[in-house]
Amino acid sequence: MPTQKQPIQSVWTRPHGKREQPALSREQIVAQAVQLLDTEGIDALSMRKLGNRLGAGATSLYRHVANKDELIELAVDEIYGEIEVPDSADPARWRADVAHCARSLRATMLRHPWIASVLGEMGMSYLGPNAMRMSETLLTVLTRAGFPSAEADLAGATVVSYVTGMASSEAAWLNVLARSGQTEREYVESLWPAAEAAAQAYPRLREEYAGQRDQDPGATREKGFQYGLDRVLDGLETRVTR
């Protein structure tokens, strides 16, 4: 007999009955989950701990979310609601609109660094209403700009992939900083002796490090992100049909 396929487990794919109760709403649960994730990180999240913070038992939470994975999906989409995706309705301003979205996505991820560790695991997170809104607006901007219809979605995915890749690395770095208890400048300063010693046999790296020695590390991250974003947009611009 053929093996019966298991349904995809996601808060966005299962039917929902009317299970709301006045004492506790899904919105309250998600808001508290995001607060917990922001302050204590992904490893601290549990249904029991969240229930305690809400003054309710874990059983009350299960009336709104089936498990921890669904809770994280909802939290991820809540964060996506912070991303600004402008649509100036002017085809000539597509680069400015897409760049604004990219910077907003990066800023959002850095405000909630825990999200970097779960994006790849939450395969259905793109079905959330806020994620869908971002994708729809981005697709509209790119299509109106003149990208071939078969490429507009790929172009948007390329930008998002660049941003999430860069921001994930930055988020991991910020988590290290948070654990160190130091400012970014202090922490980087403490690393320089080891980095310079390691670069002694590599002249190009040695020269590069010397040029970065007294730079503000936060400004350096900003500059690096913007450089990459500009180059991605340069490449995409060659695909716009005039």
Residues 135 and 153: their CA atoms lie apart, in Å, by 8
SS3 241: coil
- Distance of alpha carbon 133 from alpha carbon 93, whole angstroms: 19
Measured between alpha carbons, how far is 35 from 2 in angstroms, rounded to an integer? 45
Q: What is the pLDDT of residue 117?
A: 83
Kindly report the three-state secondary structure assignment for every residue of 10-79: CCCCCCCCCCCECCECHHHHHHHHHHHHHHHCHHHCCHHHHHHHHCCCHHHHCCCCCCHHHHHHHHHHHH
Instruction: Quote the tokens at residue 165.
Output: 């890749």
Q: What is the pTM of this model?
A: 0.84
Q: Mean of the pLDDT values across residues 67-84? A: 92
Average pLDDT, the chain: 88
Write the DSSP symbol of residue 116: G
In this predicted model, what pLDDT tens digit does every residue of 97-127 receive, in sequence order?
Answer: 999 999 999 999 999 988 888 876 655 677 8
pLDDT of residue 133: 94
Place of tokens 């509209």: 140
Q: What is the pLDDT of residue 2?
A: 56
Residue 162: closest CA among 70, 241, 225, 94: 225
Looking at residue 187, its amino acid is Y
Instruction: For the chain, list the domains and their CATH numbers.
Output: 26-80 (1.10.10.60), 91-237 (1.10.357.10)
Taking only the tens place, the pLDDT of each residue in 22-35 is 567 889 999 999 99
Contact 77, 124 (CB under 8 A): no
**Helices marked H in the chain — which ranges?**
26-40, 47-54, 58-61, 68-80, 94-111, 129-145, 152-180, 184-198, 203-212, 217-237
- Nearest CA among 7, 8, 225, 233 for reference residue 103: 225
Identify the band that residue 179 occupies on the pLDDT scale cut at 50, 70 and 90: confident
Cα-based distances in Å from 174 to 111, 127, 182? 10, 28, 11
Q: Report the half-sphere exposure of 6 (CA within 13 A, side-chain side).
A: 3
